[in-house]
DNA sequence: ATTAGGG
DNA sequence: CCCTAAT
């Protein structure tokens, strides 16, 4: 008996060396009738959802007024933005918070993590595979315990070209930089009406401690990753990493050759990751804008979603546990979702905090807005020519998802996932804002920029903007009739565009003003990017007041595929940055909407950046925007195959077929995972499901007349082998079954 | 995460 | 290839 699933690859010579104890196919083991689940419940759920949403909306509106401390909430924008802030808190403080010990520990853990179990070893031996070689490098590189799971980071570090990160995160830190990423948890709070909003926001916090000399250039390019670097990358770009395939294969994120095993898992990982991510999203108040939705769903669809409040805790704990035991095998997503995922990204407030590192803990941030009080006191540090910053928090943008009633939860999840991954596709770009103005000269040192001055620290801000995909992904669903929830067609057909796009003015981003003053701040050239709030022709959807809507909606008419392509803000802005010598570009005056709350000194000057990430899925591709929608979607697909509804078709080559045939001859059908490992371990784009499917078609092809076959002809010799193997295994299975059921007849 | 099967 | 149910 096989104690473990250990592939029996048998001798190299071909002689149908079959596994000693092949398992009977599951089809035999369990032949159960397939029952299609009725979606009535789901449909019903969505209906109820609409109702509940409305109620909650009213309820919340009545309550929210009491708790708005930011003022300007008449626009619903500021308040909204503030709410978003709390998703993640990132603080950059002094060096003292750096704990090298932890990093060292992480080494060990990572090493452990990277080791593979015996089964796999056996497998490898059997297959003649070589042991993964990335261990050393990987562990060397992965230094932060909380950074992430060993696999991806190591991959990234190991192989990923520096540029891959640099693009999104230009301000790489030097070796001098030390950092510690630390996630803290928030104690559960009672959810009072006035706290509802906050309660919907993820309370996890991340402390990112970075210390660096004031002489550091904002543009410094680190030559080697540092702990800080890593954590940043990992956290900020994880989603991207996961989406972007590994080094060579286009659609798999496996790091081929490095770690076959993990890779194998990865091969199908995305999907699961996605699910997980979605879950996190849903549970982590990601949909803060529409808490009711969340709540509702969670309450009514017991399947995968849990009640929101309980879930929050649960989720939180789960996350915590992950963090506490970073060594367990886990996916990146599970682990450091803090920054990258949940915290996803965008508007970020920063405040210089003279005070000591993390002790501030969550107390302050609890309510979400920046928690730490930042005093200009950073002075004490000046002496050592170090500037300390603390990024209080940054939030993730709203995501507006629209689905037909007939959509399944699965679809919902996917939609959210797609939206988020699309948003974070290329990671984030970090901008520095000083005194409401964007610092554009990346070469300047902190000193030169004046950031070193403590007086200015208070007015320092960061902008986290999506690196690419300035245009929101418009997701359309074939079977989606117009949703009752969104009766504003115009909304549905809108694309979101980064104001920077096509703007003659480089820093539109800063120019775009928080709703405080409305669109007037928008630069002329940027007029197409108007705030939905003020946009006359974007009638507030039912969700308007609920702030579900994204803020920056752009008239699709102004968007063309080309424009989109050129719309990479990064390219544009970087170019312009070079050209313009202004080290500081005036940003909208109102940007500095100082939080009225005294204790949140954090500046969130560029709320605008938030809008960039908004997503407005399109319900239907009809109407005048139809073409553009599809074009955009295609563009998105081109850029991110993962988001594509369908993977690109990749016909099996004869070589592949042969490999498959040979593997199946040895292993038999039904052991697709093993087949995959044995014969397609390096073919990242071939999952075991693919192999199974291919075998299925091969068998079919072999059974039909040559005239009926289509596509590239498969050598008859191979087809013969297919038939033989198929016959053999079929018979074998029958035999197996016969043994179990003595009554049945034996064919051989 | 895998496997089996239908689409 | 996709999607899902069942493991």
pLDDT tens, position by position, A215-263 = 333 333 333 333 333 232 333 333 333 322 222 333 333 333 223 333 3
Sign of CA dihedral A369, A370, A375, A376: negative
Q: Which residues contact A453 (CB under 8 A, 6 or more apart)?
A: none
pLDDT tens, position by position, A109-122 = 233 332 333 333 33
Chain-centre distance for alpha carbon A306: 21
The arithmetic mean of pLDDT across residues A61-80, rounded, is 32
At A40, the pLDDT band (50, 70, 90 cuts) reads very low
pLDDT tens, position by position, A342-385 = 333 333 333 333 333 333 333 333 222 232 323 333 333 334 46
Task: Assess whether A383 (CB) lies less than 7 A from strand B.
Answer: no
Residue A391, pLDDT score: 54
Task: Assess whether A670 (CB) lies less than 7 A from strand B.
Answer: yes
Q: Which is more confident, A340 or A427?
A: A427
Nucleotide nearest to A685 (CA to C1'): C1
Q: Give the Cα-Cα-Cα angle A18, A20, A23 (nearest 5 degrees).
A: 90
Nucleotide nearest to A24 (CA to C1'): B3
Nucleotide nearest to A652 (CA to C1'): C1
In chain A, pLDDT over 90 holds for what percent of residues?
A: 7
Tell me which CATH code domain A1-29+651-748 carries. 1.10.246.220
Residue A719, pLDDT score: 92
The arithmetic mean of pLDDT across residues A498-526, rounded, is 27
Q: Which is more confident, A588 or A739?
A: A739
> What string of DSSP letters covers A412-477?
HHHHHHHHHHHHTTT-EEEEEEETTEEE--TTSBHHHHTTTSHHHHTTEEEEEEESS--SPP----
**Residue A571, pLDDT above cutoff 80:** no
The CA distance from A148 to A341, in Å, is: 12
User: Strand, helix or coil at A679?
Assistant: helix
Nucleotide nearest to A645 (CA to C1'): C2
CA A704 to C1' C1, whole Å: 21
CA A29 to C1' B3, whole Å: 11
**Residue A730, pLDDT above cutoff 60:** yes
Task: Assess whether A671 (CB) lies less than 7 A from strand B.
Answer: yes
The CA distance from A662 to A674, in Å, is: 12
pLDDT tens, position by position, A179-189 = 333 333 333 33
By the 8 A CB rule, do A527 and A69 touch?
no
Nucleotide nearest to A32 (CA to C1'): C6
What positions of strand C are covered by protein, i.e. any atom < 7 Å from a CB?
Answer: 1-7
Helix (H) or strand (E) holding A716: helix A716-740
Residue A416, pLDDT score: 58
Q: Helices A151-158 and A227-243 sit at what angle, rounded to 10 degrees?
A: 100
Task: Assess whether A688 (CB) lies less than 7 A from strand B.
Answer: yes
The CA distance from A458 to A374, in Å, is: 7
**Residue A428, pLDDT above cutoff 60:** no
The CA distance from A735 to A748, in Å, is: 8
Radius of gyration over alpha carbons of chain A, in Å?
A: 27
A142: closest CA among A170, A164, A115, A111? Answer: A111
How many distinct helices (H) and strands (E) make up chain A? 31, 12
The DSSP letter of residue A183 is E
Q: Cα torsion at A405, A409, A410, A414 (round to 10°)?
A: 80
CA A268 to C1' B1, whole Å: 9
pLDDT tens, position by position, A90-109 = 232 233 322 333 333 333 32
CA A378 to C1' B4, whole Å: 64
Task: Assess whether A383 (CB) lies less than 7 A from strand C.
Answer: no
By the 8 A CB rule, do A631 and A621 touch?
no
Region label for A742, one of left (φ > 0), alpha (ψ between -120 and 50) or beta (otherwise)? alpha
pLDDT tens, position by position, A695-706 = 999 999 999 998
Nucleotide nearest to A686 (CA to C1'): C1
Task: Assess whether A190 (CB) lies less than 7 A from strand C.
Answer: no
By the 8 A CB rule, do A713 and A4 touch?
no
Residue A690, pLDDT score: 94
Residues of chain A (114-143) having a beta carbon less than 7 angstroms from strand B: none
Residue A731, pLDDT score: 82
Task: Assess whether A264 (CB) lies less than 7 A from strand B.
Answer: yes
**Where exactly are the structural domains of chain A?**
1-29+651-748, 68-643
Residue written as token pair 């940007």: A591
Residue A423, pLDDT score: 57
**Residue A709, pLDDT above cutoff 70:** yes
Task: Assess whether A700 (CB) lies less than 7 A from strand C.
Answer: no
pLDDT tens, position by position, A165-181 = 222 333 333 333 333 33
pLDDT tens, position by position, A622-645 = 222 223 233 333 333 333 444 457
Residue A410, pLDDT score: 56
A460: closest CA among A379, A348, A367? Answer: A348
C-beta pairs of A577-580 under 8 Å, 24+ apart in sequence: A577/A440, A577/A441, A577/A442, A577/A506, A579/A506, A580/A440, A580/A506
Question: Helical H runs in A244-368?
Answer: 260-267, 269-283, 291-300, 308-324, 332-335, 337, 361-365
The CA distance from A470 to A500, in Å, is: 8
What positions of strand B are covered by protein, i.e. any atom < 7 Å from a CB?
Answer: 1-7
Residue with CA nearest to B1's C1' atom: A265
Residue A627, pLDDT score: 30
Nucleotide nearest to A264 (CA to C1'): B1
Residue with CA nearest to B5's C1' atom: A27
User: Strand, helix or coil at A94?
Assistant: coil
User: Strand, helix or coil at A165?
Assistant: helix
Task: Assess whether A645 (CB) lies less than 7 A from strand C.
Answer: yes
At A413, the pLDDT band (50, 70, 90 cuts) reads low
Q: Are strands A178-184 and A90-91 parallel, antiparallel or unpaired?
A: unpaired
Beta strands (DSSP E) in A87-177 are 90-91
Residues of chain A (389-428) having a beta carbon less than 7 angstroms from strand C: 408, 410
At A459, the pLDDT band (50, 70, 90 cuts) reads low
At A733, the pLDDT band (50, 70, 90 cuts) reads confident
A433: closest CA among A449, A422, A420? Answer: A449
CA A165 to C1' C3, whole Å: 35
The CA distance from A350 to A89, in Å, is: 9
The DSSP bridge partners found for residue A466 are A428
CA A37 to C1' C5, whole Å: 10
Residue A212, pLDDT score: 33
Indicate the average pLDDT of chain A. 42
Residue A710, pLDDT score: 86
pLDDT tens, position by position, A265-315 = 232 333 333 333 333 333 333 333 333 333 333 323 333 333 333 333 333
Nucleotide nearest to A688 (CA to C1'): B2
Q: Which is more confident, A156 or A26?
A: A26
Residue A740, pLDDT score: 60
The arithmetic mean of pLDDT across residues A45-63, rounded, is 41
The CA distance from A149 to A142, in Å, is: 9
Residue A732, pLDDT score: 81
CA A479 to C1' C4, whole Å: 18
Task: Assess whether A693 (CB) lies less than 7 A from strand C.
Answer: yes
């Amino acid at each position: 008996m096989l104690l473990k699933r250990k592939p029996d690859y048998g001798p190299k010579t071909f002689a149908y060396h079959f596994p000693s104890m092949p398992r009977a196919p599951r089809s035999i083991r369990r032949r159960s009738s397939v029952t299609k689940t009725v979606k009535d419940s789901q449909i019903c759920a969505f209906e109820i959802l609409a109702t509940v949403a409305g109620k909650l909306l009213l309820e919340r509106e009545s309550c929210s007024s009491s708790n708005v401390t930011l003022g300007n909430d008449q626009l619903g924008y500021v308040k909204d933005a503030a709410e978003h802030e709390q998703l993640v808190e990132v603080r950059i403080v002094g060096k003292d918070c750096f704990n090298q010990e932890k990093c060292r520990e992480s080494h060990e853990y990572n090493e452990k993590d990277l080791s593979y179990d015996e089964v796999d070893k056996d497998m490898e031996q059997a297959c003649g595979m070589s042991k993964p070689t990335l261990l050393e490098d990987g562990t060397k590189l992965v230094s932060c315990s909380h950074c992430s799971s060993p696999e991806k980071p190591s991959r990234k570090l190991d192989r990923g070209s520096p540029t891959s990160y640099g693009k999104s995160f230009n301000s790489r830190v030097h070796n001098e930089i030390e950092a510690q990423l630390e996630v803290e948890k928030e104690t559960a709070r009672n959810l009072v009406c006035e706290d509802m909003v906050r309660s919907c926001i993820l309370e996890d916090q991340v402390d990112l401690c970075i210390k660096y000399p004031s002489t550091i250039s904002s543009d410094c390019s680190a030559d080697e990753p540092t702990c800080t670097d890593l954590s940043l990358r990992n956290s900020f770009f994880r989603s991207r990493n996961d989406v972007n395939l590994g080094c060579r294969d286009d659609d798999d994120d496996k790091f081929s050759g490095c770690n076959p095993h993990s890779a194998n898992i990865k091969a199908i990982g995305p999907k699961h990751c996605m699910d997980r991510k979605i879950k996190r999203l849903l549970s982590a108040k990601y949909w803060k804008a529409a808490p009711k939705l969340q709540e509702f769903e969670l309450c009514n669809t017991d399947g995968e979603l849990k009640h929101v409040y309980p879930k929050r805790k649960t989720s939180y704990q789960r996350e915590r546990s992950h963090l506490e035991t970073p060594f367990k095998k886990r996916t990146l997503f599970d682990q450091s979702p803090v920054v990258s995922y949940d915290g996803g990204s965008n508007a970020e407030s920063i405040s210089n905090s003279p005070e000591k590192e993390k002790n501030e803990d969550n107390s302050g941030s609890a309510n979400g807005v920046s928690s730490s009080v930042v005093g200009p006191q950073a002075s004490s540090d000046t002496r050592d020519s170090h500037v300390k910053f603390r990024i209080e928090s940054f939030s993730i943008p709203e995501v507006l998802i629209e689905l037909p009633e007939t959509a399944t939860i699965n679809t919902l999840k996917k939609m959210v996932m797609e939206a988020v991954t699309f948003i974070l596709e290329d990671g984030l770009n970090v901008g520095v804002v000083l005194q409401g103005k964007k610092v554009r000269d990346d070469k300047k040192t902190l000193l030169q920029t004046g950031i070193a001055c403590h007086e200015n620290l208070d007015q320092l801000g960061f902008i986290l903007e999506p690196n690419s995909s300035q245009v929101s992904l418009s997701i359309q669903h074939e079977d989606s009739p117009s949703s009752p929830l969104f009766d504003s067609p115009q909304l549905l057909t809108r694309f979101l565009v980064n104001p920077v796009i096509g703007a003659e003015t480089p820093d539109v981003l800063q120019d775009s003003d928080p709703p405080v003053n409305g669109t007037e701040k928008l630069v002329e050239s940027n007029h197409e990017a108007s705030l939905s709030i003020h946009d006359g022709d974007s009638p507030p959807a039912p969700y308007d007041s609920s702030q579900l809507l994204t803020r920056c909606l752009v008239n699709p008419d102004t968007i063309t595929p080309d424009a989109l392509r050129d719309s990479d803000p990064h390219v544009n802005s970087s170019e312009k940055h070079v050209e313009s010598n202004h080290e500081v570009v005036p940003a909208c005056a109102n940007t500095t909407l100082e939080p009225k709350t005294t204790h949140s000194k954090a500046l969130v000057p560029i709320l605008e950046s938030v809008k960039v990430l908004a997503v407005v899925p399109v319900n239907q591709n009809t109407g005048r925007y139809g073409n553009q929608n599809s074009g955009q979607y295609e563009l998105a697909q081109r850029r991110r195959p993962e988001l594509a509804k369908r993977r690109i078709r990749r016909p099996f080559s004869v070589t592949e077929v042969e490999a498959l045939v040979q593997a199946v001859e040895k292993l038999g059908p039904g052991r697709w995972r093993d087949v995959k490992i044995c014969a397609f371990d390096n073919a990242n784009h071939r999952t075991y499901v693919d192999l199974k499917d291919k075998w299925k078609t091969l068998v079919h092809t072999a059974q039909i007349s040559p005239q009926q076959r289509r596509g590239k002809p498969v050598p008859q010799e191979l087809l013969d082998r297919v038939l033989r193997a198929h016959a053999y295994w079929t018979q074998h299975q029958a035999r197996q079954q016969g043994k179990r059921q003595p009554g049945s007849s034996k064919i051989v």
